[in-house]
Every structure is written in C-alpha cells, then in structure tokens.
Structure 1
C-alpha cells in the first residue's frame, strides 16, 4: 500500500508540475502578446504620425495628409458592425494593413506578426479595401479623352519642363512575383527574376493618367505598350490627340508626343532619347532635357 500511495503521490506531483509548467508557458506567451500589442503595427502608425512625419511617409509610402484623404473616401464603405463573436476592424486598420501589403509585398503570414491579425483577416481586409479603392478612385485616375484635356496636360509640361508638346511620360516597372505553377520562363525577365509589368503614363506633376498592369515580365517595355489597351486605342485613333501646332519662331508644325526611354520604339507621337553611341553635344543636351 505504501508503495502504491507513493506511486500515486508521485503521479499527482508530476501532473501538477506539468500543469504548472504549461500554465507558466501560457502566461509567458500572453505577456509577450500583450507587450507586442503595445507596439504593434497600428500603434506604431499613430506614433509616427505624431512624432516622425518622414518616417510615417517611409512606412506607409505617403504623407499622413494623403492617408487621411484616402481614409475619408473609403471609410463609408469599409465600416462593419461588431458582432457578439468578434470586433470588426476599423476602416483605418483595413486601409493601413492594405497599404503596407501593397508597399512591401510581404505575405499575409508574415504581416500577421506586426499586425496581430490572422492571415484570413488580413486577406479579407486587403480584398475589401482594394475593391473599395478601385471604386472611390476611379475618377482620380482618368486618361484625358478630349483634345482640350490633352492640351492642358501639354501646357503643364510647357510651364514646368519647357516641353510644350509633351502629352505625358511613359515607362514600365517590373513587379516581382513568385513564379506561378507550370509557368516555366513565361514571367522570367532580363533582370533575373519573375515579374509582371506595370506600364504607366504620368503628367508633368508625376500624377498617373494611365496604368496597365499584368503583362508577363518576359515581354519588353515596348512590347507591353504594343499590347496595352491604351496603345490599341492610339492606333485606332480613339485618343483624340490634338493636332500639330506652330511653336514661336518656327515655320513648320510640331506634333504632340509622348516621351519614353530607349526601350520603346520611336513613332510619330512617341519620342525617345538619341542612342548613346556617337551622341553629338546637341543630342546629349536633348537627352538630358
């Protein structure tokens, strides 16, 4: 009996010790989570907003004034009612985590550590917010559709950059992606990684007027332009570009043009730099302008 009692007592002691260790471990995790919550993604944003304006811009890729403007636009569509089971994310939290995802390309699994949100919650917030951004910003990203609107763009280039016949600056950007399954080299670009390409047209104030994204990274910038809906509209004469004009002290007409780098093909309304090989001084000045 004594041996049995000792065995039972030892078993109970081991169980209690195990529970104590589990309880301590659980408590330590909760303490860690509590401390993490004090300095999580959202609290950091609020701190940067108050004390470090430049760091806020670096972290969110925009100034607080722009963030607040966006927030005012999306808030009416992102507000959700709390339930008995959980508290809904605020519009500010949804916008912040979405901008962070878009700026960094980090996975939802990675973002959960800084936001303290589950990957599922982040996924829902990003999808909801992106759809809302597309809806509320559709009037902000508008390609000129009349000759007068194009002339206003050119007038800005004339005042700001002394280029009175410029209708916009074109360029492409490779956006790195994880290679899709069975894609082979379809998305593999000349820079050595897999990507899709963003083609953009900006005005004299560096504001976007057109964006085309999704072409596989293997295609050159010039090829991306050729396949874009924007250029198809141009070739069909649907952009309503203004007619060539006379410039002061000039006897012949000058066409309105888009400017791009050497990756694009020269055309009647597309200008690019002179080749760097055997470049004259005047041509070099032109390139620098």
Structure 2
C-alpha cells in the first residue's frame, strides 16, 4: 500500500522457461505457415504434403529443450486466428445473396448446391460457357456493364432445370424483363451452333412433313419432341462411380431421344453420366 492508501497490484512476469515455450510455439506456427504457403504457391500436392508439414512443425517443437507444453500453445495460436481458415463447409454456410451470387461462389461447400440448381457440375458448366461465349457475349457500351456469358448461360439452364416462370427466375438472377427472353433464345441458338453433333433436327422435305403433322395436332412450329430417360448399367470400373449413381440409388447413363409425331426416332444419344 502506498502513501495515498492505494493497493498496487502485483505484476507477474513470464519466467525464462515460459518465454522459451511461447517463442517456440510461435516459431512452429510461423514455420508451418511458411511451408503451407509454399505448397499453395507450388500448386499443392495434396493433403499428404500438408500433413507432413504439420508433423514436421510439431516435431521441431517437441524436440526443443523444455517446451513440452508448446504444442498446446501452438494450437491456441492457430485457433486464435494466426493460421488462415480452411474453406468453409456446410456447418459454416454463408448468408444467401440470390441464386446467381450463391452459384458464383467457388468453394467446395457449394458444389452440391451448384449441381442441384443447374443439373451439372461446375467443370462441365465451364466447358459449355467456353463453347457458347462467342455466340452470347454482349457488346460493351457506354451505358452500363453488359451481362456476362456465364450469367446468361446459368439463367437459361436454371430456367430449364427448375421449370420456374420467367418472372421468378429473372428475379433470382437480377435480369431485366427484356433480357430474360433474349437470354434463353440466345443460349438455345448458341448450343445448337456450338454442338451441332449433339442434336439433329429434321431438314428439307422431312422437316415440312413433320412440321405439318404436328401443326395439325395443335403444336405449331414444332419439329419434334425431346426427352431423356435413364438406362441402368453395371457399376463403371474405370470411372468415378458417384457420377453414375442416380437419385434412385442405381447406376445409370442418360439417353436423349428426339421423336416425331409417329414416335419415330429422329435423333438419339446415349452415354452421359446420370450426374454429369
């Protein structure tokens, strides 16, 4: 107690041993972070090398003299935020900002969401964007930024996959009323041009015959009917089995068939996985 009647609190300083423990823990974290960043810059060789880096950092700490508690301190430092967080998983879902904003997120927690909305994987979607971009890319003007090809394609695929109305689908993608109709038409034409070998409509005299027959039944300007069905197969031996495992818990491939009014097949293609 001093002359003014105040009680001075006793300040405890770290001992030399405690300082050594803390320094070793921080050094181990820094060494791990340096190794991890090096792996990421090099493209990454998988979880094996990352686990090896962690084991090496722990070994360096444990073999240091008199620092048996350092791994515990290092764990606290990692939890406190010294180490960068891993990609969020389902128990750390982001707040939704709309269908397109959620689809545009590229972490592994959204892969199932992406497939559920567009009925395809992100890699296949990227391939289709690359093939169709020259045909759906908008011209840059002085008024505002044009719609990007990936958004246009995603909107059309979402519209077809979900069966939602134009009003509901365009609201999810923040697309205007005039743009939504043009987007679907442009994507339809782009797919026909980019993939001429995937679907073949009747031409010439056959086209006139099919169109006239369907028009007489009330389907004006219709060339045929298209649908898909599942063909069950054995579990593939040299392909990822989950790609062929359908919602009925069976292995199957998709068959696409185009028929005319007399149920005659105009075009057929088979072989794509049930879950592309």
Q: Name the TM-score, length of structure 2 as normaliser.
A: 0.42
Please say which structure displays the higher CA radius of gyration. 2
